[in-house]
Structure 1
């Protein structure tokens, strides 16, 4: 049986230790690299002294986020498979990671040993590992994303919608975007026309559905 060599990237050593404990008695799996900093992990991978098949990546990290680390790993080491291990299961974030970092799986940090091992082996064999719930969420997000593109909203119009959602007036939006009030007014008219909405409440309801508004921490 071929040994699957694993790297772990998480800013909490206690999480790394817990993952190693889960995997230590599995003959087919071996943790060969662990780091709490994305830059350090990439530096170790660049040395090419260790063969790594799969990297388990946490998303919420300081210095360099797991999202950025996943993009860098995919760009520099396309043969290494990436599984995200995080409590953040935001559909947009995962969708973007699938599209831009070619991640092969997602696991919550509450994952048990059986599921963890099953996911690693499936990904190593060329498969994907996402829960049914997450796949449903990704499908809904993609549908909404396509709808947003159908509305042909520009990046500037999306910015205006986001500022409207914060309760800013045309004058305040103009000041923040360094444009005239007349331009803001024109953007608003175009936004209502493109989205076929007739008031701020219906516009923001649609914007929420299309994931246009920033998440509230």
Structure 2
């Protein structure tokens, strides 16, 4: 099933495309992401093969993407979306038994992930964070995903010579832990404007396209380690 709808509410609301093969899940998402809370569900589809067509039809600000679908899975669909000229960020919807797939979703260009059974307030926060900051990592599963990245690189690497300042490295590590710009600013006692400046410098110095790419870079270059590991 594929449906697209014109904006139903405030034109300044966040335009959301739902991609999930379970009608019950999509119904729940519609009930959470309401117009009165600043969201506009502009389209839905039940398989990844329809995503590009739907993006063209309804021009969403963000895509909520399931990983497991019948024909085209969420990882493949995310990678396809990222090839578009102006791709919207993809927030992956996951369950506890999907965490092995999440590193693949991030490599494909997903802006982050959130558990399907998260409280409504957490989902609302995550969608807004992805649109505002370009990434959101659910802390409930981030640690396991990080460990998955480390298993994919059996021999620990020495941290790369990034050319980043100490403060920029701090920002990158916190970004990779899933913190928003506001949370990074609070942690480092700097303004959100300063955080944004550091993030832009990180993108430029490392030749990275977006926040998701920066998170992958931090994982793959041993700048972030699972709990108990040393961060160089």
Fold in common (TM above 0.5): yes
Distance 2:150 2:37 in 1: 42
User: Are residue 58 (structure 1) and residue 61 (structure 2) matched?
Assistant: no
Kindly tell me: are residues 88 and 42 of structure 1, through their superposed partners in 2, closer, same or farther at Cα, counting changes over 3 Å?
A: farther
Question: Which runs of 5 or more structure 1 residues have no equivalent in the other structure?
Answer: 151-217
Task: State the structure with more CA Rg.
Answer: 1
How much has 1:52 moved relative to structure 2?
A: 0.7
How much has 1:149 moved relative to structure 2?
A: 8.3
* Range 131-140 or range 5-14, more displaced: 131-140
User: Are residue 22 (structure 1) and residue 32 (structure 2) matched?
Assistant: yes
Alignment of 1:123-142 (within 5 A): 123-142=130-149
| Aligned residue number for residue 116 of structure 1 | 123
Distance 1:8 1:91 in 2: 20
Distance 1:149 1:4 in 2: 41
Name segments (4+ residues, structure 1) moved above 3 Å: 88-92
The DSSP-based 3-state class of the residue aligned with 2:81 is helix
Alignment of 1:1-217 (within 5 A): 2-45=12-55, 48-76=56-84, 78-87=86-95, 89-99=97-107, 101-147=108-154
Distance 1:86 1:66 in 2: 10
Distance 1:69 1:121 in 2: 22
How much has 1:78 moved relative to structure 2?
A: 4.8
Report how many aligned residue pairs link the two structures: 147
How much has 1:88 moved relative to structure 2?
A: 5.0
Question: Which runs of 5 or more structure 2 residues have no equivalent in the other structure?
Answer: 1-9, 158-232
The DSSP-based 3-state class of the residue aligned with 1:125 is helix
Distance 1:16 1:126 in 2: 24
> What TM-score, normalized to structure 1?
0.60
